[in-house]
Amino acid sequence: MTATSDVQTPNTGTILNPATGEVAGQVQWTDPVQIPAIADGLRSAQREWEQRGAKGRAKTLARFAVWLGDHRDEIEDLLIAETGKSKTDAVQEVPLLIMILSYVIKTMDKALAPERRPAPMAMLAIKKIAVHYRPRPVVGIIAPWNYPVANAMMDAIGALAAGCAVLLKPSERTPLTAELLCRGWRESGGPEVLALAQGAREVSEAVIDNVDYVQFTGSSATGIKVMERAARRLTPVSLELGGKDPMIVLEDADVDLAAHAAVWGAMFNAGQTCVSVERVYVLEPVYDRFVEAVLRDVKELQVGAGEGKHFGALINDDQLAITERHVRDALAAGARALTGGKRTEGPGSFYPPTVLVDVDHSMACMTEETFGPTLPIMKVATVEEAIRLANASTYGLSASVFSGDTARARDVALQLECGAVNINDVITNLMCTTAPMGGWKTSGIGARFGGADGIRKFCRQETVVTPRTNVGAGGNYYHNSLKALARMNRMLTKSALSRPRRTAK
């Protein structure tokens, strides 16, 4: 990673629609040298924001939620222009954000309330012990391009609720939507605790160097670099990284439901979703029926940007090239493409929905994150083989299991090495804001959401010990007599060695 002082940042950039090549808008790039001053300004504004308390901050967040609803069409139009998404995919983001806001607004006061803790020994019963949650002054959010609305703001909401200021660095591929969202924050009466840093790697480095907490969403390789950079200042990080999410279809599954789920889970947003279905393991007795049902669904899909299409373009030709390589290499190694298989002719970064069979783990399409509209399907003989292959990955973000017996599916789920498992569904864990969403292995560190933890993660814990009475205070201080110190020592020893009370059955 280069030093920020050596980087020459252009003043403006032009953002192109990957579906049409047309200009979506212009962006003013941030000079990395300006980042320390931006962070200092946020740190100053954060003090008043914290002092508003949870109830005061909730009122501002509620006004922002109303603004999002009122400007939904404007946001979605820009989203489509910036990413080449279909309307079907674009309409998911604002409602998800409003849902998260609604949940956080209702729970933030309780989540941030001081927690009473019991005395660890009888002699400390004269003390009141409370844990307070104090916001980290400035949270840096480095967001990806695949969901410019949801991924930019879903973490920002928790940080703002906690009382932090937020320095948002959207992807340089999708910077326009972030500017619209920040405008909405100001227009809804939000204070100067949300700021943008626009740019690429050198701007990200400057953000990491000047914030008190980093939330990064992106590739595992970049996540490692983010963590290395943050470690220089011991800045804590939360990393939501790549995935190669498996789907297991047992022989007693509802085959039609599983096929519908696999197609939607693999093709939604052109496969550019961290928890998309990236590989499927199907038990031999239902394999042929499953493949047939998948083909039936895939042949109905309409690819294109905007209205009336199922999914749109990939974000750019670089991402399309990864998809092309995975498919090309799989075909060369003996796989078959039952649909698609090569880039769509004409303008735009489009790739058709591609179903691959006769695949195995020697192929990149089964081991590397594709992030494209492909669906590799592998036949397996036993449940044990499906579990072993699902776990044979450096990734561990999420997974899904389909079975007519939910208890059996749960048993399989608890043998999978990942942060979340959906039974008889896909991707749903993304909407379960009461539960943590995080990855194992190289899929990340920490988690987003998780109920109260999704807000508290942006806080530092501060323990405050308050006397109930002054009686006994200073019993082990040096100014006491040797007899008093000996008596205190006996009390400590007795208290520490006493048997714990039995709890009532």
Task: Report the relative pairing of strands 374-380 and 354-357 from DSSP bridges.
Answer: parallel
CB-based contact 275:397 (threshold 8 Å):
yes
Which helix (H) or strand (E) covers residue 444, if one does? Answer: strand 444-445
Which helix (H) or strand (E) covers residue 109, if one does? Answer: helix 93-112
Residue-level pLDDT at 332: 98
Annotated active-site residue 345? The verdict is: no
DSSP-assigned states of every residue in 266-318: HHGGGG--TTS--EEEEEHHHHHHHHHHHHHHHTT--B-SBTT-SB---SSHH
DSSP-assigned states of every residue in 117-154: E--SSGGGTTEEEEEEEEE-SEEEEE--SSSTTHHHHH
Amino acid of residue 291: V
* Reduced 3-state DSSP string for 17-52: CCCCCCEEEEEECCCHHHHHHHHHHHHHHHHHHHHC
> What's the chain's length in residues?
505
Spot the catalytic one: 82, 93, 240, 278: 240
Residue-level pLDDT at 8: 47
Amino acid of residue 466: T
Three-state DSSP class for residue 193: coil
User: Cα separation of 445 and 458, whole Å?
Assistant: 14
Residue-level pLDDT at 495: 67
User: Cα separation of 256 and 236, whole Å?
Assistant: 45
Q: What share of the chain is helix, strand, coil (3-state, %, to 5)?
A: 45, 20, 35
For the sheet with 127-135, list strands across it.
115-117, 127-135, 459-467
Residues 6+ apart with CB under 8 A from 357: 291, 335, 336, 338, 376, 377
Task: Report the relative pairing of strands 398-402 and 246-249 from DSSP bridges.
Answer: parallel
CB-based contact 455:446 (threshold 8 Å):
no
Residue-level pLDDT at 482: 76
Helices 284-298 & 255-267, crossing angle to 10 degrees? Answer: 50
Threshold 0.75, pTM exceeds: yes
> pLDDT tens, position by position, for the chain (505 residues)?
333 334 445 588 999 999 999 999 999 999 999 999 999 999 999 999 999 999 999 999 999 999 999 999 999 999 999 999 999 999 999 999 999 999 999 999 999 999 999 988 777 888 899 999 999 999 999 999 999 999 999 999 999 999 999 999 999 999 999 999 999 999 999 999 999 999 999 999 999 999 999 999 999 999 999 999 999 999 999 999 999 999 999 999 999 999 999 999 999 999 999 999 999 999 999 999 999 999 999 999 999 999 999 999 999 999 999 999 999 999 999 999 999 999 988 899 999 999 999 999 999 999 999 999 999 999 999 999 999 999 999 999 999 999 999 999 999 999 999 999 999 999 999 999 999 999 999 999 999 999 999 999 999 999 999 998 876 667 667 777 777 777 777 777 776 666 555 544 4
Residue-level pLDDT at 503: 46
Q: Is the dihedral of CA 326, 330, 331, 335 positive or negative?
A: negative
The CA radius of gyration of the chain, in Å to the nearest whole number, is: 26
